[in-house]
Chains A and B, each alone.
Chain A
Amino acid sequence: MNAAPSTSENPLPNFDIVGVYRRILNDDSELTMPVAAIEALVEAIAESSVSTVAETLALLEHLTKVLKNSIANPISLSAGTDLFQRYLITTLNRPGALNLGPSDDFKIIRNHLISNGNIFVERAKQSREKIASFGTSFIREGATILTNGGSRVVGALLRRAAESSTMRFKVIYVISPTSTDAEGGRKTVADLRAHNVPVAVIPDSAVAFSLGKVDMVIVGAEGVVENGGIISRLGTYQIGLLAKSKGKPFYVVAESHKFVRLYLLNQFDLPIDQRILEFSITDDENATEDEGVADLNSGSSTSNKPKNSVLTATNAVDFTPPDLISGIITESGVLTPSAVSEELIKIWF
């Protein structure tokens, strides 16, 4: 299978992929970053006038690079772009596999791809519902569940559990007051309370204190990496460590399009710039200023981020190694962390 030739010129100068990506993400709050990225790329292909496989792949490569460079934390996004790229490479080189017809008519493939953009999105959303229905069987009568952050999958799962049965369960919601997605978390909390689920909101610092009352931990993830570990908002790692030390099961819910080809060994292998450890001998005010900037940027503003934007403690992520994870609940079932690599191998090789 021949890789795309590396054309350095910009094949589609007038297309603002970042803008489109942000617009898509804003328009539909239910959308995850990988899916938004895929949708943006599909839109780009629709805009363009590419007519060959090589052209398409070059365009894709270029746009992916632009997109990744302009987003502070492209890990989750890259899962989507990689997936799309692999899909195109493998299917464009073998159009017969698509059953589109006897000839390898590129136009048909392209048209079909464009016309089905929204089905991709539907599918991705459906997978969340599917995860929710899988996940509810984890929640048992009288259980207390600890969760964190504003993960939409976790929210969907808990909501489904609250709606679908007469089961009673309690939720401990860890919300770090400075975190940028505290908003989303509070929304989920309000939603759960509206469904008569007792929710306790605690700060990060109270996790160890509360853990004695917890039956299981469920967290969302931004990306699931090759070794089965997860990349998730700052603080997830310590919840994992604490849960392990207390012998509480620690489950991750993530759609399988969040699987990303990265192999991390420790926190500092993350391929993004995070300003968390800032050693200083002066009481610098810069740090807080930076936080403000990061807050603005990571919020849902449509303005482009500065290219070299960094993540601070408010919106940073950490890496939870696979040995802390009991299971990964995906739309296709409960996987052990070691099953992730096989999934990735299947798409890459």
Chain B
Amino acid sequence: MAPGVALAPGLTSFLKSLKTNPADSSVEHLISLLKRRQIRNSRPCAIATAALISKVVGEFKGNDATRLLERIRQVGRRLTAAQPREVVVGNIVRRVLGLIREVVEDNVGGEPANNSETGRSTPTQSQDLASRPHLNSTISSMSPLRHAAIEPIETSNYSSDISDSGELTKRPPLLTSHTSYAPTSTAPLVNSLFGLFSQPVESSTASTPTVPNSPDGKTPHSLNLDRLVDLRGSQQYFDLKGEVMSGIMELQEELEQSDKQIADFAHEHIHANEIILTHTASTTVQTFLAKAAKNRKFTVVHAETYPHDNAATHEVLLTGRKQDARAGAPHDDDDRWKCLTELGIPVYVIPDSHVFAIMSRVNKVILATHTVLANGGLVAAGGAHLIAQAAKSHQTPVVVLSGVYKLSPVYPFDLDELIEYGDVGAVVPYDDGEFVDKVDVEHPLYDYVSADLVDLYITNLGGHAPSFLYRIVADHYRPEDTVL
């Protein structure tokens, strides 16, 4: 890891250069930083991506949602290709794409209601407009994973985003039923299984040639795009860029806040005199434990995850935070970052090999994560699988802390692709020539932990069972964006 000096290439220098450089060269810059692993780990990648996308949107000319979507999609494709294992980059891109779609749908959705009040001028137009909300619903109904854009349980952070944009346009509460599961009387049926029927309904009634329907083999995605193209022709104007920008700002705020929000659940999960086992260097976990330490006395056993993360682990234990996290939020006052021992929590550092032996005395395992996948499994620092298996055999609950931004809609088709291998010199030094010659050494940086080894996920939205994650994925990503 590069030292936190301002000159070294990394997140800080990238964010600084973003202020002056145009979007295109910034894209190249981030790609090279990702490729050279000068920005790595989920949070810095997420922050950098969000900042870059906001720059791209800011420099985007015009009010054409289709082109904006395509532009961001193209940037996203290049970024994810540069470093496919930093799944977070793709997540942020998908979140922004979903945001744009939502902004467009909100504005288009409000349209027919306005028009119906002013009266239907021409039959074709009114039919066209009237068909739109329904078309919208069929897009969503094509896929069960597409749900109401927001859930009641979500914290104020995200929901304020919606209500803000809603107030901006004074849009009537239509369509995607932001409010609840219960369909309102005006909203058309948003039912996935009915999709089998509702599509032909469109094809026969909304016979406007501008709206091609899926019988001719259109995917929901292209349908949506077509609709956006259609939208371009309409006179209705709304501040696409402004709304998307404010949405991205909410997203950035979420990135900033997620640790604190996760930590707010600490008291529900850490009880007095418990022995907590954790691993690797994670700001999320440290914040969580520090929050609990304010009111409770407990013991932390910290597996050091040798050889790839032990230095960072030691640093976290001594200073309370990671270097790259410090770089990400430079203007935080430092006294908030006390290490656990300063807060009066006894911390024992153990090598990974002792995990099983000590597990019988551990009350709870808290894992940090790199990426959470749609099936409830997770990719975490190497050693996580060992810890999870040991916990399983001792029936110790495993709790995983993860911001929603780490939750990916990607299904782990091939696990080997997700695991990154690091410098074997850290395991066996290269100067041990004889040994290196004769033995194959491998150094995986990450582990895949399957969903059935995890008991609970705590995200900034609350605690969820692994089997519920599909729902959170559905709330945050559009299925048409899953493949960038």
Contacts and interface: CB of A to CB of B under 8 A. Distances in A.
Q: Do A and B bind each other?
A: yes
B200 A333 contact: no
Contacts of A256: 144, 192-193
29 contacts: A84-B197, A90-B189, A98-B205, A99-B131, A99-B134, A99-B205, A100-B205, A112-B204, A112-B205, A116-B203, A119-B200, A122-B215, A123-B200, A126-B214, A140-B413, A334-B375, A334-B411, A335-B145, A336-B470, A337-B467, A338-B467, A338-B470, A339-B145, A339-B470, A339-B471, A342-B144, A343-B144, A343-B192, A347-B193
Interface string A107-137: 0000010011001101110110000000001
Interface in B158-205: 188-194, 196-197, 199-201, 203-205
Interface in A74-107: 83-84, 86-87, 90-91, 97-100
Contact of B413 (A91, A137, A335, A342): A137
B319 interface: no
B130 A97 contact: no
Contacts of B290: none
A336 B145 CA distance: 11
A284 to B, nearest CB: 44
Interface in A263-284: none
Interface in B198-227: 199-201, 203-206, 214-215, 217
Contacts of A333: 143-145, 411, 479, 482
A124 B215 CA distance: 11
A327 interface: yes
A330 interface: yes
Interface of B: 127, 130-131, 134, 142-145, 188-194, 196-197, 199-201, 203-206, 214-215, 217, 374-376, 411, 413-414, 467-471, 479, 482
A319 interface: no
A4 B433 CA distance: 83
B467 to A, nearest CB: 4
Give the residue among B134, B144, B188 with the most A Cβ atoms within 10 A: B144
Nearest to B202: A99
Given A119-B199, A333-B479, A336-B375, A347 B142 contact: no
A257 interface: yes
Contacts of A21: none
Interface string A143-171: 00000000000000000000000000000
A256 B192 CA distance: 9
Contacts, number: 114
Contacts of A87: 194, 197
B118 to A, nearest CB: 16
Contacts of A347: 191-194
Contacts of B194: 83, 86-87, 90, 347
A40 to B, nearest CB: 15
A91 B189 contact: yes
Given A333-B143, A334-B375, A119 B203 contact: yes
Contacts of B131: 99
A207 B190 CA distance: 42
Contacts of B144: 256, 330, 332-333, 335, 339, 342-343, 346
Give the residue among A87, A90, A137, A138 with the most B Cβ atoms within 10 A: A87
A83 to B, nearest CB: 6
A259 interface: yes
B143 A332 contact: yes
A143 B143 CA distance: 29
Given A98-B205, A333-B479, A138 B197 contact: no
Chain A: number of interface residues, binned into ranges: 35 or more
B412 to A, nearest CB: 10
A98 B201 contact: yes
Contact of B191 (A126, A338, A346): A346
Contacts of B413: 137-138, 140
A116 B196 CA distance: 11
Given A334-B411, A339-B471, A342-B471, A99 B145 contact: no
A99 B206 contact: yes
Contacts of A137: 411, 413
A336 B376 contact: yes
Nearest to A117: B200
Contacts of A122: 215
Contacts of B143: 332-333
Contacts of B127: 99
B193 A83 contact: yes
Contacts of A259: 193
Given A137-B413, A336-B470, A338-B468, A97 B375 contact: no
Contact of A116 (B200, B206, B414): B200
Contacts of A343: 144, 192-193
Given A97-B134, A137-B413, A140-B414, A257 B196 contact: yes
Contacts of A330: 144
Nearest to A323: B452
A114 to B, nearest CB: 11
A84 B201 CA distance: 14
Contacts of B197: 84, 87, 91, 120
B301 to A, nearest CB: 28
A333 B479 CA distance: 8
**8 tightest A-B CB contacts, nearest first:** A332-B143, A119-B200, A116-B200, A338-B467, A97-B188, A347-B193, A343-B144, A137-B413
A99 B130 CA distance: 7
Give the residue among B191, B471, B479 with the most A Cβ atoms within 10 A: B191
B384 to A, nearest CB: 18
Contacts of A99: 127, 130-131, 134, 188, 201, 205-206
B196 A124 contact: yes
Contacts of B200: 116, 119-120, 123
Given A97-B189, A343-B192, 9 more contacts: A83-B194, A100-B201, A119-B200, A119-B203, A332-B142, A332-B145, A334-B375, A335-B145, A346-B144
Given A140-B414, A346-B192, A347-B191, A336 B467 contact: yes
A342 B148 CA distance: 13
